[in-house]
A and B are shown apart, each in its own frame.
Chain A
């Protein structure tokens, strides 16, 4: 019977503290009754293996013990969807852009050989710490909400106050205004209003190939998008004509940026760098870094954006509903 004692000891370990003795005594009685019945049927004592088989059938001690505990969770099913939504929102609006800007900054500063810059590692160190703290704080807040749900939280609601069904053809004002600001600023920059980002002693300009062949296509693309965004701000509904115009711009964007990517992948550069502080090899390195920085951070992202936008706008232009996964595109 030593095996039974060993088994019960293992079960006892994970049992609720105030019920340990009681549960173990009851389980012991059941096991002894089972053994007694089998011994009576066989007319002999059970072997260790036969007792082990009974215990095996009862289940792993931890599994048996856990059945005596109430299911526990930090955030219950009623609050969990809102918890997940808040986490996604924070990541999309805060940590995603932080990471993107961090990586872009890293590429940019690496290209400029700054001695004061600590590199991507420093950014990521802060990033992981902030991300971890964020998850912990949000989880703690929702755990408290879950624990102290006020009475009537789920019964005092009015069906008439539910949000209206989202119209996929309505253009959110925030989206139009942010697009207008974005394309407006980039258009002005492309026309030379702000100059190319550079450091003291450096002169960075678009490479001759870019200025010659891409100035007008990119300007038309940027101004076209700014114009559509401006119209969308005041007339926030997609019409087939406007969707068609934007689909055409998306197609132009796809082709233009595809051509820019082709230049990069065939060894060309997007920028010309002049500096008295750098050797010609270093200048080539910087040009290469600038070019790949743009490719990684902007062009691949924009290319995918144009592709998604083209599909969605083409559907709107032909009177079909855009796919719901990317309704904002």
Chain B
């Protein structure tokens, strides 16, 4: 039982590591269109990538502090919402990351098929 729990923890840790980089890529890609946090979460979930609030909002702040996103508070449907979109630098970085991602993906596919 303890071993089974240990394996679950290990799996969750590895899964978290695997998802971390992918989430950044997914968030940047989704923010080519301006969105606020909740709609961004919904858009990601609709495409099969669930992300909780506790992960998304700190990530958005970090990406903004790194200059990859810009944000502004605006009123919509009588509520103040913070809208995010890619900055110019974010667009450049996203392009380069996508190339990197495709290379990694192609390599992984080769490695996995070989096995």
A residues near B, CB below 8 A? 19, 22-23, 25-27, 29-30, 32-34, 57-59, 63-64, 67-68
Determine whether B54 belongs to the interface, using a CB cutoff of 8 Å to chain A.
yes
Residues in B with CB closer than 8 Å to A25 are: 73, 80, 82
- How near does chain B come to A52, taking the closest CB pair, in angstroms? 16
Q: Chain B binding site: helix, strand, loop or mixed by DSSP?
A: helix
Residues in A with CB closer than 8 Å to B82 are: 22, 25-26, 29
- How near does chain B come to A58, taking the closest CB pair, in angstroms? 5
Cross-interface CB contact of A30 among B37, B58, B61, B80, cutoff 8 Å:
B37
Can you list 29 A-B pairs, Cβ within 8 angstroms, ordered by A? A19-B61, A23-B61, A25-B73, A25-B80, A26-B37, A26-B82, A27-B53, A27-B57, A29-B36, A29-B37, A29-B79, A29-B80, A29-B81, A30-B38, A30-B41, A30-B53, A33-B38, A57-B52, A58-B52, A58-B53, A59-B54, A63-B54, A64-B53, A67-B54, A67-B57, A67-B58, A68-B57, A68-B58, A68-B61
Cross-interface CB contact of B38 among A19, A23, A29, A64, cutoff 8 Å:
A29
B residues near A, CB below 8 A? 36-38, 41, 52-55, 57-58, 61, 73, 79-82
Q: Chain A binding site: helix, strand, loop or mixed by DSSP?
A: helix
Contact A23 B57 (CB under 8 A): yes
Nearest-neighbor residue (CB-CB) of A65 within chain B: B54
In angstroms, Cα B81 to Cα A22, docked, is 11
Nearest-neighbor residue (CB-CB) of B76 within chain A: A29
Contact A67 B80 (CB under 8 A): no
Residues in B with CB closer than 8 Å to A34 are: 38
In the complex, the 7 A-B pairs of residues with the closest C-beta atoms, listed nearest first: A33-B38, A67-B58, A64-B54, A30-B38, A68-B58, A67-B54, A59-B54
Residues in B with CB closer than 8 Å to A67 are: 54-55, 57-58
Nearest-neighbor residue (CB-CB) of A26 within chain B: B82
Residues in A with CB closer than 8 Å to B81 are: 29
In angstroms, Cα B79 to Cα A32, docked, is 10
Residues in A with CB closer than 8 Å to B37 are: 26, 29-30
- How near does chain B come to A65, taking the closest CB pair, in angstroms? 9
